[in-house]
């Protein structure tokens, strides 16, 4: 009887598989990535290495000495203090100091509980004050983080008519106009907030997190904000992280630097992010809960490796629950996190997580 | 989740030289090997030692770059960042703001 190895499904459930079954899932996961993202497949040696990582008998696997990478984060201390996170009653300032001194992160982030630029705007002075207090007591690079989250600019939350409602009424041009107006408004807001954060808060820079969450208009808006901020602040640290593996074409015709942004995969997204002026790019590859961890990890590594090879700036791949091959589960298992980290570093050659 | 990432793959921030390597990634868009090499040269250590707690504790203490555990003789916060500016040959925005507000040249 063939030896069975403990592994998991994409929803985190523990299962056992033989080496042959794991290899078969790795190969089909790679094939799916090649078809969907139009990227090169992994080599035979890389498949063997991935199999060795997934089928390791140890609960945790680690990278070799000298291959450690930089860890940045999104959400600031929200995951420590908020009720949807750990719920530790510590406040933001203590939370960020814990990021530095307890979790030993290489990059810190201050964020508002609502974690979107729009709700931060009326609170910018308060956010700047907290940033300045933190900058005086921390040593590690400290970014201000928030999501562009362009959905907040549509009715009923915002001033522009919801393009989904317009499309349902076959008002395609009106829907596109609404997306363009929202994108311009969002760009203005992000630039204004981050100008204050740089001038008055002394921030090292900003994290544009979950770009394209509201589709191509969201991504387009963030790229324009990054471009403007880079011109004004040549030394500003800018991290640009994605919401999903592809840019949904809700508008469908928005172009940045002559390139239609709809439908781009990470290896093409990074080219525009670099042109806009970001220093670090955070690609995403989504987890499919109905397939195995091996399938998902192989697919994610294939997509991210192509992005890393095409990039000239550092790549900090998103490795939270439901992305980067990690199962879609609120408390992902340590065995899958460690295997996904090792594979991303040793096969996809990422610069950070 | 941070803990697992830190344990299996992270440079571990101020325990080692992770924060310094991160600064070079962000300040100069350096890929990881280049950032590690730059920091190693500036600290006069081997790039392999940048994630070594024993080695880096001593280096950080000597250069005044802040250490993870409390040490009254070692600069922290903004003071340590001013030392990082000199060691890594960088300008740090919070240090610039602090200098402007306090009239320190």
Put simply, the answer to whether B68 touches A61 (Cβ < 8 Å) is no
User: What confidence tens digit (pLDDT) does each residue in B87-104 have?
Assistant: 999 999 999 999 999 977
Do the Cβ atoms of A297 and A9 come closer than 8 Å?
no
Mean pLDDT lowest for which of A33-37, A80-84, A118-122, B63-67? A80-84
Binned at pLDDT 50, 70 and 90, residue A310 comes out as very high
Residue A286 contacts residue A259 (beta carbons within 8 Å): no
Q: Smallest Cβ distance to B77: which of A70, A107, A139?
A: A139
| Crossing angle between the packed helical segments A334-346 and B2-9, to the nearest 10 degrees | 40
A88-92, A94-98, A276-280, B87-91: least confidently modelled range: A88-92
Chain A window 114-133: which residues touch B at a Cβ cutoff of 8 Å? 132
In 10 A of CB B95, how many CB atoms? 20
> Of B72 and A40, which is predicted with more confidence?
A40
Please name the member of A69, A100, A203 whose beta carbon is closest to the beta carbon of B93. Answer: A203
Q: Is A203 on the interface with B (CB under 8 A)?
A: yes
Q: Which of residues 151-180 of A touch B (CB under 8 A)?
A: none
A70:B12 CB<8 A? no
CA gyration radius, chain B: 14
Over pLDDT 70: what percentage of chain A?
A: 99
Mean pLDDT score across all residues of chain A: 96
Residue A219: predicted pLDDT? 98
If you measure CA to CA, which chain A residue comes closest to B80?
Answer: A139
Report, as an integer, the average pLDDT of A147-170: 96
Q: Is A286 helix (H, G, I), strand (E, B) or coil?
A: strand
Chain B CB within 8 Å of residue A97 CB: no
B 34-93 residues with CB < 8 A to A: 35, 47-48, 51, 65-66, 68, 76-78, 80-81, 84, 91-93
Residue A280 to residue B25: CA distance in whole angstroms: 7
Burial grade of A335 (CB within 10 A; 0-12, 13-18, 19 or more): buried
Q: What is the pTM of this model?
A: 0.96
How many CB atoms within 10 Å of residue B73? 7
> What is the rounded distance in angstroms from the CA atom of residue A46 to the CA atom of residue A209?
30
Contact (CB<8Å) B15/A63 = no
Q: What is the rounded CA–CA span in Å between residue A272 and residue A223? A: 8
Residue located via tokens 């100008």: A195
Residue position matching structure tokens 């940048």? B50
Q: Tell me how long chain A is.
A: 353
Q: How many CB atoms lie within 10 A of CB A49?
A: 17
Is residue A163 pLDDT above 70, yes or no? yes
- Confidence check: pLDDT of B105 > 70: no
Residue A86, pLDDT score:
78
Residue that has been written with the tokens 């311009």 in this structure? A184
Q: Are strands A259-260 and A255-256 parallel, antiparallel or unpaired?
A: antiparallel
Provide mean pLDDT across the span A323-349: 96
For residue range A94-140, what is the model confidence (pLDDT) as tens digits? 999 999 999 899 999 999 989 999 999 999 999 999 999 999 999 99
> What's the pLDDT score for residue A320?
92
Q: Measured between CB atoms, does A337 come within 8 Å of chain B?
A: yes
> CA-nearest residue of chain A to B91?
A235
Indicate if the pLDDT at residue B68 is higher than 70: yes
Are B68 and A105 an interchain contact pair (Cβ–Cβ within 8 Å)? no
Determine the distance in angstroms separating the CA of B10 from the nearest CA of chain A, rounded to an integer.
5
Provide the pLDDT for residue A52: 98
Alpha-carbon A21 to chain mean position:
30
pLDDT for residue B103: 79
| Residue in the block written with tokens 């080599």 | A43
pLDDT at A76: 78
Residue among B14, B25, B47 whose CB faces A140 most closely: B14
Q: What is the pLDDT of residue A34?
A: 98
* Burial letters A198-236, b for 16+ CB under 10 A, else e: bebbbbbbbbbbbbbbbbbbbbbbbbbbbbbbbeebebb
Sort out which chain B residues have CB atoms less than 8 A from A311's CB and list them. 31
Two tokens at B73? 């003789």
Decide: helix, strand or coil at residue A55.
coil
The pLDDT tens digits for B17-47 are 999 999 999 999 999 999 999 999 999 999 9
Q: What is the mean pLDDT of residues B47-51?
A: 97
Residues B17 and B9: their CA atoms lie apart, in Å, by: 14
Give residue B84's pLDDT band: very low, low, confident or very high (50, 70, 90). Answer: very high
Band of pLDDT at residue A1, cut at 50, 70 and 90: confident
Res A83: pLDDT: 64
Q: What is the pLDDT of residues A48-79, one digit of tens each?
A: 999 999 999 999 999 999 999 999 988 877 87
Whether B13 and A104 lie within 8 Å, measured CB to CB: yes
For residue A302, CA distances in Å to A28, A143, A327, B11 come to 11, 29, 17, 24
Tell me: pLDDT of A159 over 80.
yes
């Amino acid at each position: 009887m063939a030896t069975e190895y403990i592994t998991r499904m994409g929803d985190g459930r523990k299962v056992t598989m033989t080496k042959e079954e794991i290899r078969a899932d790795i190969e089909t996961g790679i094939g799916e990535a090649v078809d969907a993202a139009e990227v090169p497949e992994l080599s035979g040696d890389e498949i063997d290495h991935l199999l060795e990582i997934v089928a390791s008998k140890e609960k945790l696997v680690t990278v070799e000495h000298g291959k450690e990478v930089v860890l940045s984060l999104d959400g600031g201390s929200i995951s420590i203090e908020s009720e949807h996170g750990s719920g530790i009653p510590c406040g933001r300032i203590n939370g960020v100091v814990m990021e530095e001194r307890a979790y030993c992160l290489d990059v810190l982030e201050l964020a508002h509980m609502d974690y979107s630029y729009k709700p931060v705007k009326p609170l910018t002075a308060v956010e700047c004050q907290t940033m300045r207090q933190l900058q005086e007591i921390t040593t590690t690079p400290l970014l201000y983080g928030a999501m562009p989250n362009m959905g907040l600019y549509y009715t009923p939350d915002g001033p522009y008519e919801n393009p989904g409602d317009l499309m349902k009424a076959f008002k395609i041009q009106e829907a596109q106009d609404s997306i363009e107006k929202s994108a311009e408004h969002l760009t203005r807001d992000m630039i204004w907030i981050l100008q204050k954060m740089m001038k008055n808060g002394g921030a090292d820079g900003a994290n544009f997190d979950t770009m394209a969450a509201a589709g191509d208009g969201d991504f387009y808006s963030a790229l324009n904000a990054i471009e403007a901020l880079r011109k004004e602040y040549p030394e500003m640290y800018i991290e640009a992280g994605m919401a999903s593996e592809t840019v949904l074409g809700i508008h469908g015709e928005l172009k940045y630097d002559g390139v239609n942004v709809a439908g781009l995969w990470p290896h093409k997204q990074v080219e525009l992010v670099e042109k806009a002026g970001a220093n670090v790019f955070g690609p995403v590859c989504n987890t499919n809960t109905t397939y195995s961890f091996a399938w998902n990890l192989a697919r994610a590594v294939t997509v991210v490796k192509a992005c890393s090879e095409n990039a000239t700036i550092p790549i900090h791949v998103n490795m939270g629950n439901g992305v980067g091959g990690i199962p879609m589960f609120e408390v992902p298992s340590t065995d899958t996190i460690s295997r996904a980290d090792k594979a991303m570093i040793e096969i996809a050659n990422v610069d950070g997580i | 989740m941070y803990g697992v990432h830190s344990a299996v793959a992270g440079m571990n921030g101020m325990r080692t030289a992770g924060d310094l390597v991160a600064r070079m990634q962000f300040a100069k868009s350096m890929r990881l090997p280049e950032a590690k090499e730059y920091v190693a040269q500036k600290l006069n250590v081997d790039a392999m030692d940048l994630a070594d707690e024993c080695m880096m504790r001593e280096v950080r203490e000597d250069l005044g770059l802040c250490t993870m555990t409390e040490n009254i003789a070692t600069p922290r916060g903004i003071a340590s960042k001013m030392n990082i500016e000199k060691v890594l040959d960088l300008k740090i925005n919070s240090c610039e703001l602090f200098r402007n507000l306090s009239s320190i040249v």
